[in-house]
Amino acid sequence: MAADDLGFAAFAAGTAGRLLHVATLLTSEPAQPPGANPHAQRLLTAALGMTYAHWERLRGDDPYVDARRELAGRFAREARRFRRGRGGPLSRLAPRERLAVVLTLYEGLYDEQAAALMGLSEERVRELRRRGVGVLRSTPAPPPVTAPASREGAAA
């Protein structure tokens, strides 16, 4: 295996989990059980494939930025496929709202960075994020999970 291949393999091993989580949030698929997010896995595979294709040109650049750009761009181009929520935590959001929320709040990008990735103005990204956060805040919290009563406690 060439040194470049080893470098990419190390990069992919170190970042695939986080990138898969980003993709799962974007596609609004549940993360559990394992394999419940085939669309996110497909987005990740395509993003890592394109990053590998650009690997030689990325010398000195952060390959994570390239992989995230590829992931976000592919999601944005295919957003019509992800209109309906699939049961994930962001399933009530429209695809562009999901992208704005994930890039700015989960990935920690500034509005201008997210705007450049999304091909929108900073004001539009802020509005999409505000609307998305508003929808998420208006969603009632799920009931707390309580442990089943023990038989001893029930008999007392």
User: What is the maximum alpha-carbon separation in the chain?
Assistant: 70
| pLDDT of 156 strictly over 90 | no
More confident residue, 85 or 55: 55
Running DSSP on this structure, what letter comes out for residue 121?
Answer: -
- Hey, CA dihedral for 85, 136, 105, 125, is it positive or negative? positive
In three-state form (DSSP H/G/I as H, E/B as E, the rest C), the secondary structure along 22-85 is HHHHHHCCCCCCCCCCHHHHHHHHHHHHHHHHCHHHHCCCCHHHHHHHHHHHHHHHCHHHHCCC
pLDDT in tens, 22-70: 999 999 988 788 788 899 999 999 999 999 998 988 877 889 999 999 9
Report d(CA 121, CA 29) in Å as an integer: 28
Please spell the DSSP secondary structure of 90-111, one letter per residue.
TTTS-HHHHHHHIIIIIS---H
pLDDT in tens, 107-152: 999 999 999 999 999 999 999 999 999 999 996 655 554 545 555 5
pLDDT of the residue at 1: 58
